[in-house]
Amino acid sequence: MYNRSHSFRRGPARRGFGHARRPFGAKAAPLAPQKYVQKAEEVAPEAPFIPVHSFADFNLGTQILKNLEVKGYKQPTPIQDQVILPIIEGKDVVAIANTGTGKTAAFLLPVIQKMIGNPHLKALVLVPTRELAVQVEEECYAFAKNMNIKSMIAIGGAGISKQIYDLRRNPQFLIATPGRLKDLIQRNAVNLSQFKIVILDEVDRMVDVGFLPDVRFIVGKLAQPRQSLFFSATVTPEIESIINSFAKDAVKISVRKTETAKTVDQDIVKVKSLKEKLWKLYELARDKEHSKMLVFVRTKHGADQISRELDREGFFVSAIHGNKSQYQRTRAISDFKQGRVRVLVATDIAARGIDIPDISLVVNFDEPATYADYVHRIGRTGRAGKKGRALTFIVSR
Residues 110-125: tens digit of each pLDDT: 999 999 989 899 999 9
pLDDT of residue 42: 54
Is-contact 303 319, C-beta < 8 A? Answer: yes
Helix (H, G, I), strand (E, B) or coil at 275: helix
pLDDT of residue 304: 93
pLDDT of residue 356: 79
Name the residue among 47, 66, 44, 42 with its Cα closest to residue 55: 66
**More confident: 299 or 8:** 299
CATH architecture of 18-43+262-395: 3-Layer(aba) Sandwich (3.40)
pLDDT of residue 83: 96
Rounded distance, CA 228 to CA 246, Å? 8
Pick from 131-145, 163-177, 259-273: least confident: 259-273
pLDDT at 245 over 60: yes
Is-contact 293 344, C-beta < 8 A? Answer: yes
Pairing of strands 197-201, 264-271: unpaired
* pLDDT above 90: percentage of residues in the chain: 49
pLDDT at 46 over 70: no
Element housing 301 (H / E) = helix 300-312
Domain positions in the chain:
18-43+262-395, 55-254
**More confident: 373 or 311:** 311
Pick from 49-63, 158-172, 236-250: least confident: 236-250
Rounded distance, CA 114 to CA 119, Å? 8
CATH node for 55-254:
3.40.50.300
Report the range out of 59-68, 253-262, 337-346 with the highest average pLDDT: 59-68
**Cα dihedral across residues 96, 97, 98, 104: positive or negative:** negative
pLDDT of residue 3: 35
Residue 168 confidence class, pLDDT cut points 50, 70, 90: very high
* Complete DSSP assignment for 164-231: HHHHHT--SEEEE-HHHHHHHHHTT---GGG--EEEEETHHHHHHTT-HHHHHHHHTTS-SS-EEEEE
| Mean of pLDDT over the chain | 84
pLDDT of residue 353: 57
Q: How far apart are the first and last CA of the chain?
A: 42
**Cα dihedral across residues 32, 36, 42, 44: positive or negative:** positive
Is-contact 108 143, C-beta < 8 A? Answer: yes
Residue 153 confidence class, pLDDT cut points 50, 70, 90: very high
CA distances from 316 to 53, 111, 120, 141, 344 (A): 44, 40, 47, 31, 9
CA distances from 138 to 15, 111, 167 (A): 43, 15, 18
Question: What residue type is assigned to position 248 of the chain?
Answer: K
pLDDT of residue 5: 35
Q: Give the tens place of pLDDT for each residue, 188-203.
A: 999 999 999 999 998 7
> 5: how many CB neighbours lie within 10 A of its CB?
9
Residue 40 confidence class, pLDDT cut points 50, 70, 90: low
Pairing of strands 123-126, 197-201: parallel
Residue 279 confidence class, pLDDT cut points 50, 70, 90: very high
CA distances from 120 to 150, 172, 173 (A): 11, 7, 11
Rounded distance, CA 217 to CA 380, Å? 31
Rounded distance, CA 9 to CA 314, Å? 5
Q: Is 55-254 the same fold as 18-43+262-395?
A: yes
pLDDT of residue 16: 40
pLDDT of residue 114: 96
pLDDT of residue 22: 42
Name the residue among 45, 197, 186 with its Cα closest to residue 115: 197
